[in-house]
């Protein structure tokens, strides 16, 4: 962006218009990126907590890990996240079932291509359905609809775009620019919520009674916001 701002020329060497950008545009782009990160991170955190509340076994196992690694005398720090292996599994499994960007960022074909027998002409708009990929039984087997963090127990599936079966942040140059910050934010918030509090659903609601409907759009938040009751545990 700084190089574009400093570009005073209106034409390139090929007599084509070049792009320039001013300071106000840079500020607007930065604000858009921050707001976008807040929206998607909030949706992801809400889905993680929803799945934890509907699976008490997962909640107990996660809290056991937190007490084992952190103890009860201090808060979770960012440096602790690399030690919280089960937390990472829980977040991976949540983003598999509930990707916050179900169609990722739009792509465009640069030339005529054929993918799996389908002809895609040049300049076609291409959307990657990460929601369907996360629920494909040919990848995740017959228990594809079951929330099972242990499916990632061997840790070989990378969530940052190296393994195409799980790409909630996209991959390559069109991947999410705030991926690392967003993932750290999700991990840290969920870890602190589960470390500091016990949680229960209101009005004696049973875990299987919680509405898990999605609100489809550019992002994929819950149709209804999660309501849960915390009890301080440290």
Share of the chain above pLDDT 90, in %: 60
- What mean pLDDT is predicted for residues 210-222? 89
Those residues with Cβ within 8 angstroms of residue 227's Cβ, 6 or more apart along the chain or in another chain:
201, 202
For residues 4 and 88, the model is more confident at 88
**CA torsion angle 153 159 162 167 (round to 10):** 120
Phi and psi at residue 146, in whole multiples of 5°?
-85, 135
Range name among 45-54, 147-156, 204-213 with the lowest pLDDT average: 147-156
pLDDT of residue 9: 47
**pLDDT at residue 10 in the model:** 46
Q: Chain centroid to CA 121: how far?
A: 31
**Tally of CB atoms within 10 A around 51:** 21
Record the tokens describing residue 50, joined without a space.
Answer: 């929803």
pLDDT of 227 higher than 50? yes
- Residue scoring higher pLDDT (204 or 142): 204
Residue with tokens 């960007």: 101
DSSP per residue, 135-203: T-HHHH-TTTTS--GGGGTT----TTTTSTT--TT--GGGS-TTHHHHHHHHHHHHHHHHHHEEEE-GG
Lookup: tokens for 192: 């602190």
Which range of 57-61, 96-100, 212-216 scores highest in mean pLDDT? It is 57-61
Domains of the chain: 27-101+131-163+177-232 (1.10.630.10)
The CB-side HSE value for 134 (13 A sphere, CA atoms) comes to 27
State the average pLDDT for the chain: 88
Q: What integer pLDDT is reported at residue 231 of this predicted model?
A: 97
Q: What residues contact 103, with CB distance under 8 A and at least 6 apart?
A: 127, 128, 129, 130, 131, 218
pLDDT at residue 79 in the model = 96
Average pLDDT over residues 106-122: 92
Location of structure tokens 């545009």: 25
Backbone angles phi, psi at 125, to 5 degrees: -80, 130
- Model-level pTM? 0.83
Tokens 């509405």 belong to: 211
How far is it, in rounded angstroms, from Cα 39 to Cα 124? 28
Residues in contact with 127: Cβ distance below 8 Å, sequence separation at least 6, in sequence order? 103, 104, 106, 107
Report the pLDDT value the prediction gives residue 21, as an integer from 0 to 100.
78
Q: Note the pLDDT tens digit of each residue in 150-196.
A: 999 987 888 888 888 899 888 887 787 778 888 999 999 999 999 99
Is 176 marked as binding a ligand? yes
How confident is the model over 7-46, as pLDDT tens digits?
Answer: 544 444 444 456 677 888 888 877 777 776 677 889 999 9
**52, 98 in Cβ contact below 8 A?**
no
């Amino acid at each position: 962006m700084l190089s574009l701002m400093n570009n005073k020329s209106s034409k390139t060497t090929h007599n084509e218009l070049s792009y320039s950008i001013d300071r106000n545009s840079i500020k607007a782009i930065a604000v858009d990126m921050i707001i976008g990160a807040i929206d998607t991170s909030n949706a992801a955190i809400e889905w993680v907590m929803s799945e934890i509340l509907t699976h008490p076994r997962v909640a107990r196992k996660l809290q056991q890990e937190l007490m084992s690694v952190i103890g009860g005398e201090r808060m979770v720090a960012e440096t602790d996240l690399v030690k919280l292996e089960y937390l990472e599994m829980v977040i991976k499994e949540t983003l598999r079932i509930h990707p916050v960007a179900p169609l990722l960022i739009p792509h465009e074909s640069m030339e005529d291509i054929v993918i799996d027998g389908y002809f895609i002409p040049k300049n076609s708009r291409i959307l990657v359905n990460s929601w369907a990929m996360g629920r494909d039984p040919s990848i995740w087997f017959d228990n594809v609809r079951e929330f099972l963090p242990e499916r990632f127990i061997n840790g070989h599936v990378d969530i940052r775009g190296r393994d195409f079966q799980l790409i909630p942040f996209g991959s390559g140059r069109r991947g999410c620019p705030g991926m690392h910050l967003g993932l750290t934010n999700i991990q840290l918030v969920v870890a602190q919520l589960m470390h500091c509090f016990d949680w229960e659903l209101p009005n004696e609601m049973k875990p299987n009674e919680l509405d898990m409907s999605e609100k489809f759009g550019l992002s994929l938040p819950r149709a209804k916001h999660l309501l849960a009751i915390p009890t301080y545990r440290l």
